[in-house]
Amino acid sequence: MKSLSETDQRLLEELKKRIEKMSGLGSSTDWAQKDYEFLLFFIEEETGERLSLTTIKRIWKNEYNRLPHLATLDVLSRLAYGSNWHSLKKKKADNLKSPLSSLAPKKNQLKKITTYGLPALIIPLAIFLAWTTGRQDQEPQPVTYNSREISFSFKKTLDNKIPNTVIFNYDLSSVEADSFFLQQSWDRSRRVQISKENKERTDIYYVPGYFTAKLIANDQIVKEIPVHITNDGWFIAARQPMSNILTFSERHWLRQGFLGISKNSLESKKIDLNEQFQQAFYYVKDFELDGDNFYYETKFRIQNLDEVDCPIFNFHIQGVKGYYWIMFGNKGCESELSMRLGDAQHYGKTEDLSKFGTEVSEWQQLTISVVDKKVNIGLNGTTIFEGSYTESVGGIMEISYFTNSPGFIDDVELRDLKGNVRFSDNFDWLIQE
């Protein structure tokens, strides 16, 4: 971390205020724990980058005396203004520089400044200005590039199996930058440094999904490609912490006619149920189904844990161009919920999502109907939301589910608008004989 200049501090405060307004949270003066947690979720939803709760709290509570990591500043800058920290700082430098007049002594103090005192004021100022100027000269400059001159491709070593090693081929010879990275997905913890001189880098995907791999120069994304990691059938995983992925083979799955794993299975993988964790179900393939016109239904429930005040079930449908993310939680927890439908976003902090609060410990039936980007969401036979979005989601490539407690699903079905079933599973094959 670098020392925090007044310019840095003022720009960081501006970013914070803008993000507070964007998130609908308002001033952070009276924030509670749940507000910081929502901000963390909001940042990840908007940028695809996950920051730590500790980092967010430290920045918003001004508990720092050095500049946060550049990667963190870039996430906040891109969220607030759509450009990285250095570019934003350069653009706003004239407006953010502290006026030198503020350093002038007050009128009633002039008589106290002697010829000995003047150098004491001027010399530190000169040193500060020289130091900050030198710092700016050493900071990486924004990368200029032509994406057509950058090649980026991949091949998988396996079909329909996890884990899967992917061989990335790239050519960054036309790009001038101090450092280069490859990031296999939204998960920043999977970012690895690469050499411009090399043309190849391998990486492992531990869960299936429809991902966007990124080539990064300094802190700028210069090329992206979709990577579809498929699996033969359902896949169950958990994370604790988020960077640590644990997987569960079929021998761990319950044999009760629905899909899920027990608390004992989670604990067998050393997951501490007293601490935050994530459980996930995936089914990943090309469903050959238009993401702007389809019908989806599923049943779900959660096993409550004493340590989790707000158990939440997240539904994810990933398209080639966009996605759906819908959250359900217990009654009373609706403020923690949010939803993304293509390019349309809805937050429980800023609008009424109370109908998405339900008894998640009991079986619930969710239906989603999309016709020409118009969305109807139903719960247990009753419509609870109607809305729309603008940008196409594209073909459906993945359905997945995420919970913060042991979760279970049943009776999953995807159909086109003509009623043709594109995918269906009632999990009768998981009944113990």
Task: Give the model confidence (pLDDT) of 273-286 as tens digits.
Answer: 988 899 999 999 99
Output the pLDDT for position 187. 78
147-229: CATH topology: Immunoglobulin-like (2.60.40)
What residue has token string 């490609």? 225
- Between the CA of residue 216 and those of 149, 191, 203, what are the distances in Å? 14, 9, 15
Q: Can you spell out the DSSP letters for 364-381? A: EEEEEEEETTEEEEEETT
How deeply is 247 buried, as exposed, middle or buried, from its count of CB atoms within 10 A (0-12, 13-18, 19+)?
A: middle
pLDDT (mean) for 410-432: 97
Nearest-angstrom CA–CA distance, 206 and 166: 11
pLDDT (mean) for 420-427: 98
Q: What is the mean pLDDT of the chain?
A: 86
β-sheet bridge partners, residue 245: 239
pLDDT tens-place string over residues 33-87: 777 878 888 888 778 787 878 888 889 988 876 788 888 898 998 888 888 888 8
Output the pLDDT for position 96. 42
Kindly report which listed range (91-105, 202-216, 367-381) carries the lowest average pLDDT score: 91-105
pLDDT (mean) for 228-248: 94
pLDDT tens-place string over residues 325-360: 999 999 999 998 999 999 999 999 889 999 999 999
The residue type found at 96 is L
pLDDT (mean) for 248-272: 96
pLDDT tens-place string over residues 356-388: 999 999 999 999 999 999 999 999 999 999 999
Output the pLDDT for position 110. 33
Q: Taking the CB of residue 332, how many other CB atoms lie within 10 A of it?
A: 11
Q: Which DSSP helix (H) or strand (E) runs through 425?
A: strand 421-425
- Global pTM exceeds 0.75: no
Strands annotated E in 160-311: 164-171, 180-183, 191-194, 200-205, 209-217, 220-229, 235-239, 245-248, 259-260, 278-284, 294-302
125 pLDDT more than 60 = no
Task: Locate CATH 2.60.120.200 in the chain.
Answer: 235-430
Nearest-angstrom CA–CA distance, 41 and 53: 10
Percent of the chain with pLDDT over 90: 60
Q: Can you spell out the DSSP letters for 217-232? A: ETTEEEEEEEEEE--S
Output the pLDDT for position 32. 76
How deeply is 29 buried, as exposed, middle or buried, from its count of CB atoms within 10 A (0-12, 13-18, 19+)?
A: exposed
Which of the two residues, 307 and 289, has the higher pLDDT score? 289
Q: Taking the CB of residue 119, how many other CB atoms lie within 10 A of it?
A: 10
pLDDT (mean) for 106-124: 35
- Place 101 in a pLDDT band, splitting at 50, 70 and 90: very low
314 pLDDT more than 60 = yes
Write down the CATH number for the domain with range 235-430: 2.60.120.200
